[in-house]
Amino acid sequence: MAGVPVSRAGYEPVARAFAPEALGLPVRLRGWVLRSRSSGGILFFLLRDRTGSVQVTGKRDVLGDAAFDAAEHVQVEGAVEVDGTVAEDRRAPGGREVRASAIRVVDAGAPFPIFADQSEEFRLDKRHLVVRSQEHVATFRLKAELLRALREFLDREEVLEMTPPVLSGNAAEGGAEAFQIDYFGRPGFLSQTAQLYLEALLFPNERVYALTPSFRAEKSRTPRHLTEYLHLEVELAWCDLEGLLAFEERMVVAATHALAERRPTELAALGRPPEELRAVDAPFPRLRYAEAIDRLAAQGFPVRWGSDLGTAEERALTLEERRPVFVTHFPKELKAFYMLRSPDDPRTVEAADLLAPEGYGEMIGGSCRETDLARLTERLEASGGSVAEYDWYLDLRRHGSVPHAGFGLGIERMLRWILRREHIRETTPFPRTPSRHTP
Ligand code: 4AD
Ligand code: MG
């Protein structure tokens, strides 16, 4: 409401109303109306802020006619300020309510257009309002906690955060899946990976990471593909495959345990008992690609050496698992040009995908990097890349090239598994898919 002065001081978080010592004391709260009704000169609000929600009651004879009428017109998701006293009330959620002595309307709001049982398309069109739902609030708090836990882990491991570009003249992971843009008349690409830049930054820093959006122009409409996703990428000097797997294991265990510890309520509300995350422990099962193929063939999958592992195959390999599963030593033809040839088998590369348990599929792709300039150049050309375009990257193999390895974790893929979401779009506030890039 225009012209209503909004006070700046003395407001307390809504959760304060439930503190043992708050009973009988005055409080000043502000927030949004989750639900409201009025009958017989009494108004009921469920008032929400970032800390929780509490029932507020207001009586016409206490508030006065004008204020009561104004408060009665507040819609769901309208904003108000409340002065009142904390009282016990058995019927109220949490057993407490705030009896209002004053209600000031900040914005009465228009009727809120989101209800239960609306179509998925409509809810996606109104995503900017749907993000206020309890499910989304819990989801994005968990996502923030996941990012925090990952950063804390990387900090403990002395891995330094870097800020690589997202706009580039190279399309690193394969040109077909890159979004091309017009960069002042020259071709430019939205980054699919920060890896090549992290490799450059590795030499002066030895352990680096970046958390950036990656873009994939895949038209695949699957429950696990976004066209924009959040990519956590790590690059470690002096690291072999064993070291890489051990690092990924420590990281996933640290992150899942941190979530179980810090956000048990949100996890439980979203359908993942925290104990299940606490039970995620090292070592994770490890499977060579060749063994995976044998196992799948024995289950009747039409696969042989050289077949890619798709959704169905990854699902079959992990459905019964409660811990993530490593698949290692893929045929080189299935993987990117920069992966190191296995010392014991020239047909394979020192690569590892980490598959989420319970059938959720790949969440990390990683490998040791080829350090030999001649071999790297040969693989680049064999994969259709241009030596001229990648000259700067090849330069890294000309000046103190050392063994190193790295990986990329799809944050939404990991969250999809943790929260058991059917579709990956439920793990990001504004999903980007082939059919949608608004709101
Ligand atoms: O396996 P990818 O393509 O590997 C790379 O890009 C490496 N250069 C990373 C590196 O080593 N620094 O992608 C890594 C991860 C996948 O395991 C998956 O979790 C996620 O990124 N990812 C996607 N997530 C959501 N939507 C998509 N379309 C994704 N494509 C990959
Ligand atoms: Mg991959």
Residue of 193, 244, 354, 367 to mutate, ligand 1, most atoms within 8 A of C-beta? 193
Residue ID of nearest Cα to ligand 1 atom 11: 407
Q: Give CA–CA dist 57/53, Å, rounded.
A: 13
Q: Give CA–CA dist 13/27, Å, rounded.
A: 9
Residue of 150, 230, 231, 334 to mutate, ligand 1, most atoms within 8 A of C-beta? 231
Residue-level pLDDT at 1: 42
Query: Among 2, 3, 1, 12, which residue's Cα sits nearest to residue 83?
Result: 12
Atom of ligand 1 nearest to the CA of 364: 17
Atom of ligand 1 nearest to the CA of 410: 19
Residue-level pLDDT at 8: 52
- How is domain 14-107 classified at the CATH fold level? OB fold (Dihydrolipoamide Acetyltransferase, E2P) (2.40.50)
Q: Are the C-beta atoms of 172 and 179 separated by less than 8 Å?
A: no
Residue-level pLDDT at 243: 98
411 lines ligand 1 (CB under 6 A): no
Please name which ligand lies nearest the alpha carbon of 310. Answer: 2
Atom of ligand 1 nearest to the CA of 367: 11
216 lines ligand 1 (CB under 6 A): yes
CA distances 356 to 148, 187, 430, Å, are: 20, 36, 23
Q: Are strands 404-410 and 361-368 parallel, antiparallel or unpaired?
A: antiparallel
The boundaries of every CATH 3.30.930.10 domain in the chain are 123-427
Q: Give CA–CA dist 128/373, Å, rounded.
A: 49
Q: What is the CA(168)–ligand 2 centre distance, in A?
A: 21
233 lines ligand 1 (CB under 6 A): yes
The boundaries of every CATH 2.40.50.140 domain in the chain are 14-107
Question: Which of the 8 DSSP states describes residue 139?
Answer: H
Residue of 143, 413, 425 to mutate, ligand 1, most atoms within 8 A of C-beta? 413
Residue 265 CB burial class (10 angstroms; 0-12, 13-18, ≥19): exposed
Please give the CATH number for the structural domain made up of 123-427. Answer: 3.30.930.10
Residue-level pLDDT at 221: 86
Atom of ligand 1 nearest to the CA of 233: 12
Q: Give CA–CA dist 64/323, Å, rounded.
A: 61
Residue-level pLDDT at 174: 64
Helix, strand, coil shares of the chain, percent, nearest 5, are 35, 30, 35
193 lines ligand 1 (CB under 6 A): yes
Query: Among 421, 209, 255, 275, which residue's Cα sits nearest to residue 354?
Result: 255
Axis-axis angle for helices 241-262, 411-418 (nearest 10): 50
Structure tokens at 214: 């990656």
Beta strand segments in 79-162, E: 79-88, 96-107, 160-161
Helix/strand number for the chain, H first, E second: 14, 18
Q: Are strands 341-342 and 160-161 parallel, antiparallel or unpaired?
A: unpaired
366 lines ligand 1 (CB under 6 A): yes
Structure tokens at 72: 């009665």
Q: Give CA–CA dist 88/101, Å, rounded.
A: 16
Question: What pTM does this model have?
Answer: 0.95
Give the Cβ contact number of residue 298 at 10 Å.
Answer: 8
| 170 contacts: CB under 8 Å, gap ≥ 6 | 189, 196, 389, 390, 393
Q: Give CA–CA dist 331/313, Å, rounded.
A: 16
CA distances 358 to 139, 207, 324, 365, 435, Å, are: 20, 32, 9, 18, 28
Q: Give CA–CA dist 380/373, Å, rounded.
A: 10
Give the Cβ contact number of residue 434 at 10 Å.
Answer: 13
**Three-state DSSP string of 338-407:** CECEECCEEEEECEEEEEECCCCEEEEEEEEECCCHHHHHHHHHHCCCCCCCCHHHHHHHHCCCCCEEEE
Q: Are the C-beta atoms of 268 and 420 separated by less than 8 Å?
A: no
Binned average pLDDT, 10 residues per bin, the chain of 439 residues = 52 96 96 96 97 97 97 98 97 97 98 95 97 96 98 98 94 78 95 97 98 94 95 98 98 98 97 98 98 98 97 97 98 96 96 98 98 96 90 96 98 98 97 96
335 lines ligand 1 (CB under 6 A): no
Q: What is the CA(362)–ligand 2 centre distance, in A?
A: 7
Q: What is the CA(364)–ligand 1 centre distance, in A?
A: 7
Please name which ligand lies nearest the alpha carbon of 248. Answer: 1
Please name which ligand lies nearest the alpha carbon of 425. Answer: 1
Q: Give CA–CA dist 215/112, Å, rounded.
A: 33
Please name which ligand lies nearest the alpha carbon of 216. Answer: 1
